[in-house]
Amino acid sequence: MEFSAQQIADYLKGKVVGNPEIKVSNFSKIEEGVPGTLTFLSNPKYTEYIYTTQASIVLVNDTFEPKQELKPTLIKVKNSYDALASLLSLVDSYKPKKSGISSKACVSEKAKIGENAYVGAYTCIEDGAVIGKNAQIYPQVYIGDNVRIGDNVTLYPGVKIYNDCVIGNNCMVHAGTVIGSDGFGFAPTADGKYDKIPQIGIVVIEDDVEIGANTTIDRSTMGATIIRRGVKIDNLVQIAHNVEVGEDTVMAAQSGFAGSAKIGKHCMFGGQSGVVGHLTVADGTMLAAKCGVSNNIKEPNHMYHGFPHVEAKTFQRAFVCFRNFPAIRNQILELEKEVAELKKKLEHN
């Protein structure tokens, strides 16, 4: 499909600077732009590319003023990144949705499938499962007994959802993710072995949650492991039993959250960050990559680095000292030599 600059500007409530009739049919990165594509400029680091890009249309913030002549047509909007996201969502909505149940799927007679749902080949849906309207369940998905899945949910190939778990509306779960596997619960015995503690709880995932590929979310020992509305989870994240994640929190790849940790709303976790079990993390907390939380975080809206976690400003000052340790050590050695020489002179005198 082709859209003119004016059509795009009207949709985004933006302003065209250049040729309003020029058309595009695809997207491109600004540094790799080709004719017939639309790109965007949001990060100032990429400003130089707007003067060399071959893209036909560039979305820019309404505060942008070029320093020299430009070849592409500009569409000025309040926030170019948000505008791009809106356009990508529009294009995605035009993609055809699959429907119908594959003859190679195994669907229990005791399961309920909503209207306009798609169930791919070799998917297994067990007794008592309830699937909402417009669900897109791709091949080789497993949905256990009594699982409840809301409307407009997408489960990509290889997703596994164990019995009794609940997924809300408008959720997306990417390939290979496991929801509802047993929590890591074992009790040491007198003879040095470990007895398994049955995990009889469930996982509850609220509306508008997206979960990346090969992530694991363990069922609770009792009660529920809960992922609140709007949470976004990257690939390869581990969420242990009885964890609760607050609304609109985001987690980057390889993050880990030990059992019974309570995560606040609007938190941001960098890659390979982690939280020790049974801790509470305040709303708005931000962890840099590889940061580890070893004590409760009570104050909201702070950023932390390192392990154990340290407030960002303190960590940065400490790191300057750490980086200078070799030079400081050499200075100390030189001072020791000078002091030794002074002692010898005093003793001689």
Q: Under the phi-then-psi rule, with left for phi > 0, alpha for psi from -120 to 50, and beta for the rest, what region is 338? A: alpha
* Cβ neighbours for 195, distance < 8 A, ≥ 6 positions apart: 186, 187, 189
Query: Taking a C-beta distance cutoff of 8 angstroms, is the pair 16, 73 a contact?
Result: yes
C-alpha 56, offset from chain centre:
31
State the burial class of residue 254 (Cβ atoms within 10 Å of its Cβ: 0-12, 13-18, 19+): middle
| Angstrom distance (rounded) from CA 308 to CA 215 | 25
Torsion of CA 168, 170, 172, 173, to 10 degrees: 10
CA angle at 224 for the pair 218 and 228, rounded to the nearest 5°: 90
Q: Which one is catalytic: 241, 302, 309, 348?
A: 241
Give catalytic status of residue 174 as yes or no: no
Q: How far is CA 301 from CA 108, 213, 245, 280, 308, in A?
A: 48, 29, 16, 14, 18
Helices assigned H by DSSP within the chain = 5-12, 80-93, 312-323, 325-348
| Angstrom distance (rounded) from CA 22 to CA 43 | 25
**Quick one: tokens of 281?**
């993390």
Q: How far is CA 169 from CA 4, 20, 255, in A?
A: 34, 39, 25
DSSP state of 221: S
C-alpha 177, offset from chain centre:
14
* Closest to 53 in 3D by CA, of 30, 70, 24, 69: 30
Query: Taking a C-beta distance cutoff of 8 angstroms, is the pair 329, 313 a contact?
Result: no
Q: Would you name the residues annotated as active-site residues?
A: 241
